[in-house]
Amino acid sequence: MPVENTEVSAVFDEIADLLEIKGSNPFRIRAYRRAAQTLRELGINLREYVAEDGDLTDLPGIGRDLAEKIQEILETGRCRSLSKLRREIPGTVTDLLRIPGLGPRRVRVIYNKLGITSLHQLLDACAAGKIRKLPGFGARTEQHIMEAIKIGADSRRRFLLAEAEAAAALLVRYLKKLPCIQDVVVAGSFRRARETVGDLDILVTAGPDCPVMDKFTGYNRVRKVISRGSTRSSIVLSSGIQVDIRVVGRESFGSALHYFTGSKAHNIALRRLGQDLGLKINEYGVFRDDSKIAGETEESVFRSMGLDFIPPELREDRGEIEAATEGGLPDLVTMDAIRGDLHVHSSYSDGKNSIRELAVAANRRGYEYIAVTDHSQRLRIAGGLDSRKLLRQIREIDRLNQELDGIFILKGLEVDILEDGTLDMPDDVLSRLDLVIGSVHSSFNLSEDKQTERILRALENPHIHILGHPTCRRLRQRPPCSLDMVRIIKAAAEAGRFLELNANPERLDLSDIYCRMARDAGVLISINTDAHSTGGYENMRYGIGQARRGWLESGNVLNTRPLGDLLDLLHA
């Protein structure tokens, strides 16, 4: 999704949340939510659309008032209506919305009845037994809130990779407008493709007397300047992300990029190796005694120690240095290797596009195939398909496969795994599909034994091909289910099942650790976007980043296969 669309939709989401906490007109709230959703799924870049004299009011759900606000955000990076709401309601109140189960209505009750404006106050109120006394709550809800706050204590200070990417892309583009700036690279955990990012580290090389810091601190999306120096400054963006910038010399750019990319554990391990070789390694270069022997490029830093280049995603001190020493680093999967998307939702359930539109958009991306995997009937909120509707969809896909060239549509379903491990669709219907994804969408709080047995029983069903978003987590919203993933991965290997790496940036499920475990067990991973619109295909890059962190090569990924090989694997 274009970064401008992300920025505007985030503003509209926050306005809707604050309006609902205030108890404002529900139609007004709904208008902002619909607009935010429209912009998230829009296949065009808002800034380019406006620059080409496009009329924003022609977009679905965008009236004159919302169009004016979009224009304001694109031009200034701010929205006066949001600023006014933030003055009326403390900004920390929206932190309460990050607690699973606390929607705006419940937050309104907590705020109005108890005056609670922060997570710390909410935790204290839970400990004092005040929350259970509120209408619509209770002791169980109070306990759930306490557990969620403690689990999420660390993640509250972190941003989704997609959020960080949107902020970074705008800032980098802004900095590059200064002609004397030569290089601008975002380092840190962002460059390592971590699923969440605490802050952004930007490295810059520039010509003499280049006013980098004036440009940086003058950015129109700066909320606060923390510090300013001649070679290093820190700001906080309006989105809340802290950004540190460093200006480094061209001769030290590679060593600085390596140092500030991290991770800390990787850097320490590399310095120890350097010490064993009689070398000193820091952000300024690689030194033997007083002589600098490397540092202009990252490649030179690794080469000076006899190492192959280690991709940023692997720099976590998990064996990558040993592998680089022995020439054993994996040939990591890339976007170019992906031949199709095996988890896509159409307008038959909760998707926004028709099957034809999804297929045509996939073909434009160069894909050979997609699998349409709408929800099964149990997920009523998502318009799940019953047997009759699914059979009608199967007939439509057969017709489209006859009509369309260059793309093949697999007949699929994302079937709910029920609490007892059975599937939400009869076997005789599942047998007519090319691909079945089994997913858990309910009863997330079962014990580890019960949840694991539930999954294991589902994997025994001969019609299941892929276990969808296996741990059920939603980053910053819901922790993973309690599962014995070692047993699940082993069962998948024995049954010839595949595991999904769901590329939605709110999920990125499997984790990098489990991806590597699955790879080592010989289980193929399917990197899928779980797209609910044609714009959702863009999320594939987040899945690729996670796969690379998990040491996956193309051969470890199911949907790098050409269509014929894929069908052979599925039919097997």
What are the E-state strand segments in 106-221?
159-160, 181-186, 196-197, 199-206
The 8-class DSSP code of residue 533 comes to S
The pLDDT confidence band at residue 354, using thresholds 50, 70 and 90, is: very high
Q: Express each pLDDT in 497-510 by its tens digit.
A: 999 999 999 999 99
Q: What angle do CA 350, 337, 405 make, to 5 degrees?
A: 60
Does residue 155 register a pLDDT over 50? no
**In this model, does residue 41 exceed pLDDT 80?**
no
Distance of CA 106 to the CA centre of its chain: 27
- Residue 172 CA: distances (Å) to CA of 184, 216, 444: 7, 10, 40
User: 507: number of CA atoms within 13 Å, CB side?
Assistant: 21
The Cα–Cα gap between 92 and 113 comes to: 17
Share of the chain above pLDDT 90, in %: 67
Alpha helices, H only, 277-372: 298-303, 320-325, 355-364
Cα separations in angstroms, 132 against 75, 110, 136, 139:
45, 11, 9, 5
Q: Which residues contact 564 (CB under 8 A, 6 or more apart)?
A: none
CA distance 157 to 572: 46
Helix (H, G, I), strand (E, B), or coil: what is residue 148? helix
- Report the CATH architecture of 335-571: Alpha-Beta Barrel (3.20)
pLDDT at 379 over 80: no
Superfamily of 3-154 according to CATH: DNA polymerase beta, N-terminal domain-like (1.10.150.110)
User: 292 and 280 in contact (C-beta within 8 Å)?
Assistant: no
Strand (E) positions, 11-66?
Answer: none
Identify the DSSP state of 176: T
Helix (H, G, I), strand (E, B) or coil at 224: strand
pLDDT of res. 359: 97
Beta-bridge mates of residue 436 = 413
pLDDT band at 44 (very low <50, low <70, confident <90, very high): confident
Do 63 and 18 contact (CB within 8 A), yes or no? no
At residue 445, does pLDDT exceed 80?
yes
For residue 496, is pLDDT > 90? Answer: yes
Does 271-325 match 159-247 at the fold level?
Answer: no
Query: Which residue has 């940086």 as its token pair?
Result: 216
SS3 content of the chain, % helix, strand, coil (to 5): 50, 15, 35
Q: With bands split at pLDDT 50, 70 and 90, how would you rate the model's confidence at 152? A: low
Of 3.40.1350.10, 3.90.730.10, 1.20.1050.10, 3.30.210.10, the CATH number of 271-325 is: 3.30.210.10
Average pLDDT over the chain, rounded to an integer: 91
Question: What DSSP element (H or E) covers 547?
Answer: helix 540-549
Instruction: Report residue 118's pLDDT band, with 50, 70 and 90 as the boundaries.
Output: confident
241: three-class secondary structure by DSSP: coil
Q: Is the pLDDT of residue 156 over 70?
A: no
Which tokens go with 155?
């993640």
Q: How many CB atoms lie within 10 A of CB 429?
A: 20
Q: What is the mean pLDDT of residues 429-443?
A: 95
- DSSP labels, 459-502: HHSTT--EE-STT--BTTTBPPP---HHHHHHHHHHHT-EEEEE
Q: Provide the residue ranges of all domains of the chain, joining segments of one domain with +.
A: 3-154, 159-247, 271-325, 335-571
Whether residue 43 has pLDDT greater than 90? no
Once rounded to an integer, what is the mean pLDDT over residues 505-532? 95
Using alpha carbons only, give the angle 116, 119, 122 rounded to the nearest 5 degrees. Answer: 50
pLDDT of res. 154: 43
**What would the mean pLDDT of 23-35 be, rounded to a whole number?**
87
36 or 531, which is more confident: 531
The reported pLDDT for the residue numbered 2 is: 54
Residue 74: how many CB atoms within 10 A of its CB? Answer: 17
Q: How far apart are CA 504 and CA 538, in angstroms?
A: 9
Q: What does each C-alpha distance from 550 to 96, 196, 311, 512, 541 come to in angstroms?
A: 32, 15, 12, 4, 14
- Residue 470: is its pLDDT beyond 60? yes
User: CB-based contacts of 474: which residues, under 8 Å, 6+ apart?
Assistant: 506, 507
What pLDDT shows up at residue 94? 74
Give the position of tokens 């998230």.
40
Question: Is the pLDDT higher at 401 or at 221?
Answer: 401
Distances (CA, A) of 252 to 122, 282, 312, 341, 551: 48, 10, 18, 41, 29
* Across 528-556, average pLDDT: 96
What does the pLDDT read at residue 487? 95
How does pLDDT run across 57-90, given as a tens digit for each residue?
888 778 899 999 998 988 887 889 988 888 888 7
DSSP state of 286: E
Question: How large is the average pLDDT for residues 405-429?
Answer: 95
Question: For residue 338, which of 501, 186, 479, 203 has the smallest C-alpha distance?
Answer: 501
- Which pTM does this prediction carry? 0.79
List the single range of 104-118, 215-229, 254-268, 280-294 with lowest mean pLDDT.
104-118
Give me the architecture of the 159-247 domain, per CATH. Answer: 2-Layer Sandwich (3.30)
- Whether the Cβ atoms of residue 132 and residue 138 lie closer than 8 Å to each other: yes
Report which of 290, 262, 286, 259 is spatially closest to residue 275, judged by C-alpha positions.
286
Going by DSSP bridges, is the β-strand pair 232-237/285-288 parallel, antiparallel, or unpaired?
unpaired
Q: Give the residue-averaged pLDDT of 176-199.
A: 95
Structural Rg of the chain based on CA atoms: 25
What is the DSSP code string of 507-520?
Answer: T-BS-HHHHHHHHH
Nearest to 40 by CA among 6, 75, 78: 6
